[in-house]
Amino acid sequence: MKSYLLLLLSLLGYFGFSQQDNTDTNVLYENYREDQFYASVTYNILNKKPDGISQSGFSSGFHFGFIRDMPINNKRNVAIGLGIGASTNSYNQRNVLIEDIDNTINFTNIDEGDYNVSKNKFTTYLVEVPLEIRWRTSNASDYNFWRIYTGFKVGYLLYNSSNFKSEVTDVKLSNSDGFNTIQYGLTLSAGYSTWNFHVYYGLNSIFDNNIQFEGEQIDMKSLKIGLIFYIL
């Protein structure tokens, strides 16, 4: 009789712990989300350049921020992500001098050999709001997984500058009015675990519609290609 009682108590204890574990697991899955800090390094390309404008050197971008993850299915592997971040983006060009003439940005074509240029770039600093549709193979206990995040990003220009240095002249500008205050584009991030490919395709011009180069309206957009790292 004692042996039957011991067996019964053992079974009750087993099922009791099993129920507790399942409850804890269910709670864990119900609360599972991929809220993430991110950091990204990109190579910045000037897309749709007018004839006569070319890039040189490495034009870099640095991006960081936080994205709130909001799952929309029972498995919680599909979600909407909404975040806030910041970025700094530089663009090196070869044969263009950016000047302020009568409070208006002017692009002038120059001969590099005549100027012996040592530095020629402009830089933008933005606050950004990314919005994503997120798919991944993760779960509440596996942090190494495949992901595809695609979406839309809006940036608000806080500050801009341009810096031209040569043997002939030095020109520095800051907070010029010729830049578009709102800049937006499409995004795609895809990869495994920490390492992920990232691309941003700008949909509107970096500069406003009044800026011209040799009589042609400048409609240069930003194309950023690089790596993005997600940090829990």
**In Å, how far are 32, 126, 172 from 84, measured between CA atoms?**
21, 11, 30
pLDDT digits (tens, 9 = 90+) for 177-206: 889 999 999 999 999 988 899 999 999 999
14 band by pLDDT with thresholds 50, 70 and 90: very low
Residues 14 and 79 in one domain: no
Query: Residue 8: its pLDDT value, please?
Result: 35
Distance (Å, rounded) from C-alpha 25 to C-alpha 30? Answer: 9
37 and 21 together in one domain = no
DSSP category for residue 34: -
Residues 188 and 211 in one domain: yes
Supply the DSSP string of 193-215, one letter for each residue: TTEEEEEEEE-S-SB-TT-EETT
Q: What angle do CA 218, 220, 225 make, to 5 degrees?
A: 170
Q: What is the pLDDT of residue 30?
A: 66
One domain, residues 111 and 17: no
* 8 and 41 both lie in a single domain: no
Both 65 and 124 in a single domain?
Answer: yes
- Residue 218 reports pLDDT greater than 80: yes
Write down the pLDDT at residue 18.
42
39 and 25 share one domain:
no
Give the three-state DSSP class for 124. strand
Domain that holds residue 194: 33-231
pTM of full prediction above 0.85 = no
Residues 15-55 have pLDDT tens digits of: 344 444 444 444 445 677 888 899 999 999 999 888 778 88
Domains held by the chain: number: 2
Residues 10 and 124 occupy one common structural domain: no
136 and 21 inside one domain: no
124 lies in the same domain as 210: yes
Same domain, 91 and 130: yes
We report the CATH number of the domain holding residue 79 as: 2.40.160
- Same domain? For 225 and 134 the reply is yes
